[in-house]
Amino acid sequence: MASQGIAVPGNCEVPDLPCGLAVFRTFPYAFILPELVLGAWVWILVAATRVYYPVVQGWVMYVSVSSFLFSMILLMVYIFGFHRSHPGTWRLVDVIYNGLSAIFYLSAAVLQAFATIFCDSLIFTPYLGIICTPVYYHLNAAATVFAFLTTLMYTLHSFQSYVH
């Protein structure tokens, strides 16, 4: 069945698991889009800053990029209807993936907050030899806020998928 040039998978009659464009209208799967957008902002903002602690902000980048990619894959699975053969398994995958992503994002958000605090107190160090400008501080602060919001989205998605 096709609708105005958009191919919709046939026989999408799995209860409680949407497929096609219904993913964006079905709760809790509609959380995927805000997770992607907020996670992309974390990724972009951290990439735009000066890295003072490579291990700390490297973890933030790893979590944001890998969660973005895995969420995009999960979104494609739901849109193209690959989950129709084993709906119970995909529901469990959704709960576990979003729960783990929430834990990883919480750790990344705390580390990004540490990097923001460090940037605020940094004026000059002989080792780094740089000055943290207000622009870098504001980029780090925004990345921290978006990381905590993304953590909230993954937590809500996991919880709602579990009780749904």
pLDDT single digits (tens) 119-149: 766 555 555 555 677 788 888 899 999 999 9
2 in any annotated domain? no
Please give the residue range of the domain that contains residue 88: 18-163
Q: Please name the helix (run of DSSP H) or strand (run of DSSP E) that holds residue 151, with its range, or none.
A: helix 134-163
13 in any annotated domain? no
Q: Determine the pLDDT at residue 5.
A: 45
- Which of 57-71, 87-101, 148-162: highest mean pLDDT? 57-71
Q: Determine the pLDDT at residue 50.
A: 78
| Percentage of the residues of the chain whose pLDDT score is greater than 70 | 72
131 in any annotated domain? yes
Average pLDDT, the chain: 78
Helices (H), ranges, 25-86: 32-47, 54-80
At 130, phi and psi to the nearest 5?
-130, 165
Q: Determine the pLDDT at residue 14.
A: 46
pLDDT at 48 over 70: yes
Least confident span in 10-14, 32-36, 70-74, 106-110: 10-14
Q: Which are the contacts of 162, defined by CB distance < 8 A and separation ≥ 6? A: 95
119 in any annotated domain? yes
pTM as predicted:
0.77
8 in any annotated domain? no
Q: Domain total for the chain?
A: 1
159 in any annotated domain? yes
101 in any annotated domain? yes
Can the peptide bond before residue 134 be classed as cis, meaning omega within 30 degrees of 0? no
What's the rounded mean pLDDT across residues 52-71?
Answer: 88
- Per the document, the length of the chain is 164
12 in any annotated domain? no
